[in-house]
Structure 1
Amino acid sequence: MSFALLWIPATIAASLLQTARNLTQRSLTDIIGVVGATQVRFLFGLPFALLFLAIVCAVAGRLPPAVGGTSLAYTIAGALTQIAATALMLAAMRERSFAVTTAYTKTEPVQVAIFGALLLGDALTPLKFLAVLIATAGVVVVSWKPGEKLTRAGLRPALLGVGAGAFFALSAIGYRGAIQALPEGGFFLRATTILALGLFLQTLVLTLYMLAANRPALISSLRNWRKSLSAGFLGAAASQCWFIGFSLTSAANVRTLALIEVPLAQIASRRIFAEGTSRREMAGMAMIVGGVALLLSIAL
């Protein structure tokens, strides 16, 4: 049985789970601060990642594959850049709306395509890059309001959001490189192994940092354990789906398909909250769908 196309449903599931996790983390930012909300997805996500790994190992009937130096280096790079990306994203969300900040970070697919070609040798044909560019431009069209100017006050969240996108791109490349560097095991086992290792490293780094520099935020996250646990589970489940995608296709394919969450969110807003959709938003969504469709036609 071929699992080559499993990255498509895995990516869609990851996008939905990540949106829910971001909303949960955003609500925690006002309670425990940016760093506190950043560490929640790692500290409270690690137990779920270990549980996922135990289940996969039991089903596969074997232990996780040995992690060599190359895979470890890629995992460390992915883990640290993901911490930076999450912190920048949450900092931007404190200054701009959730939707606008999400649009800034969604410049990530273009950066993933470039970094993937340079660092991992992932194929980047002109047609594929065009698909990524069209879909990303669609996000900008959907999110940017007519007549809205980028003032000095708006420059900081814009830079934070685009910077978060760049670090998310490097994180995706790091994790894909780590999964590829594992010497053995099926795609599911390799993806789950790197997920558990990455979350362990992130939890270690952030817990040590917070014990030394921001102990009240760490204690507050433990006191708000119900919401923190929700963010942890959603983060671990989203990452599991992302890593499955990374194990089967290029990070650029995964991150570009993930842009489909933008028109899905618009549709949900219209159906659930009776919010209208402008012609500009419809045009932007058409660009996203068109770019994703072009990418899938190439990938398939």
Structure 2
Amino acid sequence: MSMSWILFTLMAAFMQAWRNAFQKQLSTTVDVWGVTLARFLFGFPLAILYIEGLYQFSPIEQAVHFTQQYWIYIAIAAASQILATALMVQLFKQKNYAIGVGLAKSEAILAAIIGVVFLSDHLSLYAWFGVILGGFAVFLLSRGHQFAGFSPKTLMIGIGSGLCFAITSLLVREASLELTNLPQLHRASWVLVSVIGLQCISMLLYLALFSRKTLVAMWERIGLTFKVSLCSFLASLGWFTAMSMMSVPIVKTLGQIEILFSLLISAYFFKEKLAKAEHWGLALVVIAAILVIWA
């Protein structure tokens, strides 16, 4: 299973690219909190079905034991991912949001720094180079070289979003490592159902109490909402499983191949033209992915 994390990461990146495409469509008629809930609404029952199927086809004798630390990790990870998504949406209201989006994609670099400093992670020289190169490539692909109209507010929101995504990923891995008596696939499945379940229930309660019109808007586009949930569930399944097997910065750097999938979807699904300058960024993303696999 040593190389399985690569397949799970590629699946996650591919499905996340589709999720973002469907979210882009949904956001035209549903507010930010509704679009965020769409990621988890059908994902929770799908996660339950997945864990039941996993135990059915791959039964184990060990009983799952949740520590207090596990639930702390789950709660912070769930909240961080919701906040990261909200900050990402806020970037589109900024004058030069492209820079902020590029900064939000700094997740792999921030995860590497936090992991090494606070969580005793270790990265080889090749891995560090791949992580940094990948972050630079994504920043370029987000047109981060265009600094006209750049503001400190955009910087703060972009870095804040990337930081929250990094915290989510690191704590997902830490939660998985708490379930030491289970195989990796089973550990990841429990973390998946815990995080998505907490996010789904908390956001449903919030919107039911304070913004029922958002739920109505989601119901009116239930088909698109389901597509967002399905893609988000499959992406999370891939991320959580890969991160239970491999260090977060390595997984996230390889996962930046998502931008290649996103550009292809933009070209063939949304009929958007690709700029020639983007080819350089794509080449750097591929090089970074090769470096972290090699490392």
Q: CA deviation at 1:271?
A: 7.4
- Superposed, 1:100-249 pairs within 5 Å as 102-144=101-143, 148-152=147-151, 156-249=153-246
Q: Which moved more, 1:176-185 or 1:220-229?
A: 220-229
- Asked whether the equivalents of residues 138 and 288 of structure 1 are also in contact (C-alpha less than 8 Å), the reply is yes
- Asked whether the equivalents of residues 83 and 161 of structure 2 are also in contact (C-alpha less than 8 Å), the reply is yes
Q: CA deviation at 1:171?
A: 0.2
TM-score (norm 2): 0.89
Q: CA deviation at 1:131?
A: 1.7
1:29 paired residue among 11, 27, 30: 27
Q: Percent identity?
A: 26
| Corresponding position of 2:247 | 250
Unaligned residue ranges in structure 1 (runs of 5+): none
| Corresponding position of 1:87 | 86
Q: CA deviation at 1:290?
A: 2.0
- Asked whether the equivalents of residues 65 and 179 of structure 2 are also in contact (C-alpha less than 8 Å), the reply is yes
Cα separation, 2, equivalents of 1:166 and 1:239: 18
Q: Which moved more, 1:26-35 or 1:57-66?
A: 57-66
TM-score (norm 1): 0.88
Cα separation, 1, equivalents of 2:220 and 2:289: 42
Cα separation, 1, equivalents of 2:101 and 2:14: 13
Go from structure 1 to structure 2 and tell me whether the alpha carbon gap of 1:174 and 1:160 turns closer, same or farther (over 3 Å shift): same
- Asked whether the equivalents of residues 6 and 245 of structure 1 are also in contact (C-alpha less than 8 Å), the reply is yes
Amino acid at match of 1:208: L
Q: CA deviation at 1:88?
A: 1.5
- Superposed, 1:54-73 pairs within 5 Å as 54-62=52-60, 65-73=64-72
Cα deviation digits, residues 39-63 of structure 1 (max 9, x gap): 1111221111111111111112248
- Asked whether the equivalents of residues 97 and 154 of structure 2 are also in contact (C-alpha less than 8 Å), the reply is no
Give SS of 1:32's match: coil
Unaligned residue ranges in structure 2 (runs of 5+): none
- Asked whether the equivalents of residues 26 and 90 of structure 1 are also in contact (C-alpha less than 8 Å), the reply is no
Cα separation, 1, equivalents of 2:241 and 2:12: 10
Give SS of 1:151's match: coil
Go from structure 1 to structure 2 and tell me whether the alpha carbon gap of 1:148 and 1:40 turns closer, same or farther (over 3 Å shift): same
How many residue pairs get aligned? The number is 293
Amino acid at match of 1:287: L
Cα separation, 2, equivalents of 1:284 and 1:150: 23
* RMSD across aligned positions (CA): 2.5
| Corresponding position of 2:5 | 7
| Corresponding position of 2:44 | 46
Cα separation, 1, equivalents of 2:138 and 2:186: 34
Q: CA deviation at 1:93?
A: 3.7
